[in-house]
Amino acid sequence: MLKSLVNEAYLRLSITTMGPLLIKTGYATLIGADMAPVQTYRNGQQEVYLPGSSLKGVFRSHIEKVVNSIKPLVACDPLPQSGGARGASTETRRDDARQIYRSSCGRDIEKLPSHKAYASSCPTCRLFGSTSFIGRISIDDAYLPTGSGGTKSLVEHRDGIAIDRLTGGTGGGAKFDLEVVTIGTTFGTTIHLRNFEIWQLGMLFVIIQDMEDELVRIGSGRSRGLGKIKAVISEQEEGSHPGGVVLSTVRTNHESELDSELWGLGHWLEDETTYGTKRDDMLKLSQSVAHTPHGVRSVRVFKGAALNDIKERSIDYFVTRMQQWPDSSEETTMGASQRR
């Protein structure tokens, strides 16, 4: 869908561990710790890192809860409920989830063309994608700063032991070892949002705000004190990125968007039927931010007060849009009336 660039957002996110962190490799080791963090070969040495796929999964899982807290039955359970055999515990979990989550968008729209699939999707699938179309957002792997010294000084060894449920003491022969990333380690990642609606920008800011408030944990052992982090949008210039949040459009379009406005996909398209967007998809800004030509794009850089302004306004827009979003029962009713 949308084989052209309409608008884009780009930012760098700094993630600092506020407690020990473990994102496991998933592979058993013959020697060393039973559970070790993922590593990659970079800058001539082994380094720990945070996989972009893991971060994207955390982002999606968190915002699904937020959306369905604002209005139940709006975000879907992305795992299709197939007819295959499942254990009783899985069935119970799925039955409970259906009270909050609508059924999987991937199952319901898999045979639709991509534009209709997008229009029929729940908010989280519109941003993160489904089996029918690619998402609007991409998150890179989060790496250590250049010259950080590699993994050895940033990983510590810990011992674990299972607890006997009857005695409350240690379980015999149930010792395990793990390696965790130490407190105070900072990783950097980049986030790219393409052809976004304003509420999608607000959805991203909600996740980042909760990470800044240390309300989101990542990795393994979160119930045992692991995975506490703090994330902030970096406003420091780094390489080709000027810092803050960079928003852009194609240069031939920017004359329509005033410096005191921010247009989302719906306002650019002026079409509420093809993709299910809204014509009023725009923000009035309290501070004007000028468009600057840069290659084929017209770029705007939001920092400081201007960044706080679009953050607050887009989050408000996101909350309002979620409150207005039809839940699964409302969509069923509307669909029946349209068929009549």
Whether the Cβ atoms of residue 216 and residue 62 lie closer than 8 Å to each other: yes
Report angle CA 210, 214, 215 to the nearest 5 degrees: 55
Tell me the two tokens of residue 20.
């020990």
How many helices, marked H, and strands, marked E, lie in the chain? 9, 13
In sequence order, the β-bridge partners of residue 24 are 37
pLDDT by 10s per residue, the chain, length 340? 678 899 999 999 999 999 999 988 766 555 555 678 888 888 888 899 999 999 999 999 999 999 999 999 999 988 765 444 344 444 444 555 557 888 888 776 778 888 899 999 999 999 999 888 889 999 999 999 877 665 666 888 776 666 656 665 665 656 667 888 999 999 999 999 999 999 999 999 999 999 999 999 999 888 888 999 999 999 999 888 999 999 999 987 657 899 999 999 999 999 898 999 999 999 999 999 999 999 999 999 999 999 999 999 999 999 999 999 998 766 655 544 443 4
State the helix-helix crossing angle for 198-212 and 52-70, rounded to 10 degrees.
100
Q: What count of other Cβ atoms lies within 10 Å of the Cβ of residue 114?
A: 14
CB neighbour list of residue 293: distance below 8 Å, 6 or more residues apart: 251, 299
Closest to 243 in 3D by CA, of 296, 306, 309, 181: 306
Helix (H/G/I), strand (E/B), else coil: 95: helix
Cα 129 to Cα 134: distance, rounded to the nearest angstrom:
5
